Amino acid sequence: METIHIAVACRNASGMADMPVFTVAVSDEEYGLGIHYDKAEAMAEEAGYEKPFVCFDPVEQPAIVSAVRTLDLVPQVVVINITEGLVHSVCCDTGEIKVICYDENDTDDSSDAVDDHPVGENGAAIRCWAHIETADVDPGLKKARDWPPSLS
* Distance, CA of 96 to CA of 94 (rounded, Å): 6
What's the CA angle centered on 80, arms 148 and 138, to 5 degrees?
Answer: 65
> What pLDDT is attached to residue 117?
47
> What pLDDT is attached to residue 132?
55
How much is the pTM?
0.53
Identify the three-state secondary structure at position 52.
strand
User: Cα 150 to the chain's mean position, in Å?
Assistant: 30
* Distance, CA of 40 to CA of 35 (rounded, Å): 9
> What pLDDT is attached to residue 77?
66
> What pLDDT is attached to residue 148?
46
CA-to-CA dists, residue 79 to 62, 95, 141, angstroms: 25, 13, 9
* Distance, CA of 104 to CA of 85 (rounded, Å): 12
Rg (the chain; Cα; Å): 20
Per-domain residue ranges of the chain: 2-69, 78-144
Which stretches within 8-146 are classed as H helix?
28-33, 35-46, 61-70, 140-144
pLDDT in tens, the chain (152 residues): 999 999 999 999 889 999 999 999 999 999 999 999 999 999 999 999 999 999 999 999 888 888 877 776 665 666 777 677 676 776 766 666 666 655 555 555 555 444 444 445 555 554 545 555 566 666 665 554 454 444 44
